[in-house]
Amino acid sequence: MSNQATIVVLGSSNVDLITYCHEFPKNGETIMATSFSQSFGGKGANQAVQAAKLSESPNYVAMLGMVGTDTYGRETRDNFTSCNVGVKELKEGKESSGLATIQVDSHGENRICIIPGANYELQPTDVSSMTSTISSASYMVCQFEIDPLTTACGFEIAKSHGLTTVLNPAPAAPLSTLPPGLLSNTDYLVPNQPELSLLSGLPTSTVPECVEASRSLISTFSITTVIVTMGSSGSLLVTSTSTLHVPCPSLPSPLLDTVGAGDSFLGALVYYLSRGVGMEGAMGKANGIAGYSVGGKGAQTSYKSRDELPEEFRI
């Protein structure tokens, strides 16, 4: 079995500090929380772990990123290894490892504050040193939790070696802050509705509005495909000439926690595409995987492994 990764994820690794409460505190208010947990997160790490949990092959997914030399960094590396994510290109920086403080209310909604730390130390020169690993892969996945110039460099290298590039524009950022060429080097842009609205400057409350906003980006940046995640409404694929709305299956009851659900969808989507599943089938399976994730607490801790899933998801 090859040790070369099929999917490389260039992005962030955080430790999530999660507080659960009945309702979010108002400005100036102090409340009593119901519980606390610490787990592994970061959008890049979440997407890598979800894809790896669906694969039966060690190192099918590789993480390209940076952590600190602190305890959190060592624990993050060990967590990747236990989840079969390759860490050969996980570098160490001078800053502390990334952290995220998260509040989750009784309805499963969340508020998140990110301290990037070592994630933002990762520079284009670091990514250039990873070219051998990148060139052997088939898919590269990126987000907005590391330096945008580093992300742009990763996509440029990926496209020069024929990889399919997948960009999750989260946390959302206006177009004026993005490096030239980043979106033009993107094959699949995968935002949620608020992220799509910020990028396009258009409303995205309904499916027709999402289609119009997506096509404005497609025509401007030559993106092939936009895939909009719509929570319990499923996901929407938009190209210049076609649309496809794939509903979400019934969600677990009760809905416990939406933290990491979008990352679960994206990691699953890329995994299924990499295994040759057609787009409609991959979106449907990714909807289902994300649906499972909201039935558990935390991000990676709520992700199902291959053996925990029904046969239809084992590919």
Q: Alpha-carbon distance 63 to 86, whole Å?
A: 6
Query: Has 284 been labeled as part of a binding site?
Result: no
Query: Has 276 been labeled as part of a binding site?
Result: no
CA 200 to chain centre: 20
Query: Has 294 been labeled as part of a binding site?
Result: no
Query: Has 287 been labeled as part of a binding site?
Result: yes
CA distances from 135 to 62, 154, 161, 219, 275 (A): 12, 11, 5, 28, 18
Query: Has 63 been labeled as part of a binding site?
Result: no
Q: Alpha-carbon distance 177 to 159, whole Å?
A: 22
Query: Has 192 been labeled as part of a binding site?
Result: yes
Which has the closest alpha carbon to 300: 114, 133, 67, 100?
Answer: 100
Query: Has 168 been labeled as part of a binding site?
Result: no
Check if 263 is active-site: yes
Query: Has 147 been labeled as part of a binding site?
Result: no
Query: Has 264 been labeled as part of a binding site?
Result: no
Q: Is residue 10 a contact partner of residue 124, using CB atoms and an 8 Å limit? A: no
Query: Has 158 been labeled as part of a binding site?
Result: no
Query: Has 59 been labeled as part of a binding site?
Result: no
The active-site residue, picked from 78, 105, 187, 263, is 263
Which residue stretches of the chain are H helix?
43-54, 71-82, 124-128, 131-135, 148-160, 193-200, 207-221, 261-274, 279-293
Query: Has 184 been labeled as part of a binding site?
Result: no
Query: Has 234 been labeled as part of a binding site?
Result: yes
Query: Has 307 been labeled as part of a binding site?
Result: no
Query: Has 49 been labeled as part of a binding site?
Result: no
Contacts by 77-84, CB closer than 8 A, 24 or more apart: 79/40, 79/49, 79/300, 80/13, 80/45, 80/48, 80/49, 83/49, 83/52, 83/53, 83/300, 84/52, 84/53, 84/55, 84/57, 84/58, 84/59, 84/60
Query: Has 298 been labeled as part of a binding site?
Result: yes
Contacts by 272-279, CB closer than 8 A, 24 or more apart: 272/54, 272/315, 273/139, 273/164, 274/6, 274/7, 274/51, 274/138, 274/139, 275/315, 277/315, 279/237, 279/244
Feature table: binding site for ATP: 192, 229-234, 262-263, 287
Bind-site residues for K(+): 257, 259, 293, 296, 298, 302
Known binding residues are 14-16, 42-46, 145, 192, 229-234, 257, 259, 262-263, 287, 293, 296, 298, 302
> What positions carry a catalytic annotation?
263
